[in-house]
Structure 1
Amino acid sequence: MKLDVTDRKILKLLQQDGRLSNAEIAEQVALSPSPCLRRLRRLEQEGIIEGYQTQLNRQKIDLGMTVFVQIKMHDHHAASVKNFEQAIHGMDAVITASTVSGSADYLLEVVASDLEDYDRVVSKLQELKMVREIESNFALRRVKTAAPLPLKRLSD
C-alpha cells in the first residue's frame, strides 16, 4: 500500500499519542473528521495499524528488571522450532522474541521483578529439550525505548 504525506502524518501522530481522537487527528492533518476516519479505517484494514497499546511504567508495576536472553537450539527441525515458539508464547515474562542471525538462534526480551522471578523464567526455558544454551544479558539502564518508527523513509 502506498502512503501519502497525510497518511504518514496520521501515523506519526498516533505513534506519539495513541489516545488522540479522530477529531484531534483530523484537525492536526488539516482534514475534516469523515475523510480522516476513512483513512484511519483503511490503515487499520490494510494492516498498517495493527492495534493500539498503552505503555506502562515497568518500575511502577514491579517489572523493573529487563533481560535480553540469547537462545541456542540443539537443532532447527520444524517440530523443535514450532514447540519452542509455542512455549515462549505461553510465557508472559517474554515480551518480545525474534529469530536472529549470528551465534544465537533467538533473542528474547524478558521482564521480571527481581532475580528470583527471572530464575523462574530461566527454569522454564531450561526444561525445553530443544534449548541447548541460554545466555542472559541484564539491562543496566534503558537509553531509548518505544521509539516511533521512522516514517520519512516511506515514499509517496
Structure 2
Amino acid sequence: MDRQLIALLQTNARQSTMTLAKRLRLARSTVHDRLMRLEREGVIRGYSVDLAQDPFDEYTQAIALVSVAQRQQRQIIDRLGFLPEVKICSTISGDSDLFLLIETPRLEDLDAVIEEIVRLPGVERCRSSVVLAQKLWRLTPLGGALHRL
C-alpha cells in the first residue's frame, strides 16, 4: 500500500489526502497516518514541483575536479557547503579527490567561484570544464539541489 501511495504522490504531490484515499480505497485517516509515518521515517523527505521549463536553462554549469591536501578534505567540504553555486560535491577515486558541479548565472560568476575554490586552504589543484550542452539525463531529483546536469 505504501508503494501505491508513493506512486500516486510521484505523479502529483499536490493531491489531497481525500483524493489519495479514494484512489487507494482506504479511509482518509489511514492515508494521513501512512503519510505521517513515511515522512517521520524519512522515506518521504519532501514534496516538489515539476516544472514545464527549467528556470536554470540559462545558467552556466561547470564540472570541477579538485585535489586536496591529505587530511584537509573534511574542512574543504565544509567550506564548499557555504558556496550556494556548488550544487554537487562528491568524493571520488583517482587523481582528484572531489567532483563538483558548479552552477552560476553567468560565465564571469563561474570564474569567480572557481577562483574562490582555488584559494581555499588545502586545495592543491582544481581542473574545471564548462558544460556545453546536456545530451542525456536519467537521474531524478532526490530532494534538493540536484535538478539537472
Q: TM-score, normalised by structure 2?
A: 0.77
**Structure 1 residue corresponding to 2:64, chosen from 63, 69, 78:** 69
**Alignment match, 2:145:** none
Identify if the C-alpha distance between structure 1 residues 101 and 52 changes in structure 2 by more than 3 Å, giving closer, same or farther: farther
Letter in 2 for 1:82: R
Matches within 5 A, 1:80-91: 80-91=72-83
| Correspondence 1:49 to 2:44 | yes
Identify if the C-alpha distance between structure 1 residues 27 and 110 changes in structure 2 by more than 3 Å, giving closer, same or farther: farther
**Alignment match, 2:55:** 58
Larger RCO: 1 or 2 (CA < 8 Å, sep 6+): 1
| Correspondence 1:119 to 2:111 | yes
| Correspondence 1:109 to 2:106 | no
Structure 1 unmatched ranges of 5 or more = 1-5, 150-156
Secondary structure of the 1:66 match is strand
Identify if the C-alpha distance between structure 1 residues 145 and 17 changes in structure 2 by more than 3 Å, giving closer, same or farther: farther
Percent same amino acid among aligned pairs? Answer: 27
Letter in 2 for 1:67: A
Secondary structure of the 1:108 match is strand
Identify if the C-alpha distance between structure 1 residues 135 and 21 changes in structure 2 by more than 3 Å, giving closer, same or farther: farther
Structure 2 unmatched ranges of 5 or more = 143-149
Q: How many matched pairs?
A: 139
Q: Quick check: which one's helix share is greater?
A: 1
CA RMSD across the alignment: 2.4
